[in-house]
Amino acid sequence: MLNRSAARRHHDPEDVITATIRDVAAAAGVSPATVSRAFGRPEKVDESTRRRIVEAAERLGYQPNRAAQSLTTGRTGNIGIMVPDLANPFFTSVLKGAQHQANRLGHPVLLADTEEDPSAELRFSRALAQQVDGLVLCGSLMSDDEVLQISRLRPLVLVNRQVPKLPAITVDNAGGARQAVTHLRALGHRRIGYVAGPPGSYSNAERYQAVSEHAEGAGLECVPVGHFEPSFEGGRGAADQVLLAGVSAVVVYNDVMALGLVNQLVAYGVAVPAEISVVGFDDIPIAAMFTPALTTVRIPREQAGGAAVAHLHALLTGGRPVPPPDLTTELVVRGTTARSR
Least Cβ distance, residue 252 to DNA (angstroms): 50
The DSSP code sequence of 229-282 is -SSHHHHHHTHHHHHHTT-SEEEESSHHHHHHHHHHHHHHT--TTTT-EEEEEE
CB 300 within 8 A of CB 238: no
Tell which one of 12, 61, 68, 119 touches DNA (CB under 7 A). Answer: 68
Tell which one of 24, 38, 142, 259 touches its own copies (CB under 8 A). Answer: 259
Alpha carbon distance 259, 295 (integer Å)? 10
Does residue 303 belong to the site contacting its own copies (CB under 8 A)? no
172 interacts with, out of its own copies, DNA, none, CB within 5 to 8 A per kind: none
Least Cβ distance, residue 26 to DNA (angstroms): 10
By CB under 7 A, the residues from 214 to 233 that bind DNA are none
Name the residue among 140, 85, 96, 88 with its Cα closest to residue 256.
Answer: 88
93 interacts with, out of its own copies, DNA, none, CB within 5 to 8 A per kind: its own copies
The DSSP code sequence of 271-329 is -TTTT-EEEEEE--GGGGTSSSPPEEEE--HHHHHHHHHHHHHHHHHSS-PPPPPPBPP
Alpha carbon distance 323, 147 (integer Å)? 18
Least Cβ distance, residue 166 to DNA (angstroms): 27
Tell which one of 1, 13, 14, 36 touches DNA (CB under 7 A). Answer: 36
Binding mask 60-99 for its own copies (x = CB under 8 A): ---x-xxxx-xxxxxxx-x--x----xx-x--xx-xx--x
Q: Is the dihedral of CA 158, 162, 167, 172 positive or negative?
A: positive
Question: Measured from the CB atom, is 5 or 182 closer to its own copies?
Answer: 5
Does residue 200 belong to the site contacting DNA (CB under 7 A)? no
- Residue 292: Cβ within 10 Å count: 15
85, 196, 250 from 295: Cα distances, Å: 25, 17, 11
By CB under 7 A, the residues from 70 to 89 that bind DNA are 71-73
260 interacts with, out of DNA, its own copies, none, CB within 5 to 8 A per kind: its own copies
DSSP H helices in 164-254: 173-186, 202-217, 232-237, 239-244
Residues that bind DNA (CB under 7 A): 3, 5-6, 9-10, 18, 20-22, 29-37, 39-40, 43-46, 49-50, 62-65, 68-69, 71-73
Residues that bind its own copies (CB under 8 A): 5-8, 10-12, 15-16, 63, 65-68, 70-76, 78, 81, 86-87, 89, 92-93, 95-96, 99-100, 103, 108-113, 115, 127-128, 130-131, 152-153, 232, 259-260, 263, 266-267, 285-286, 289-291
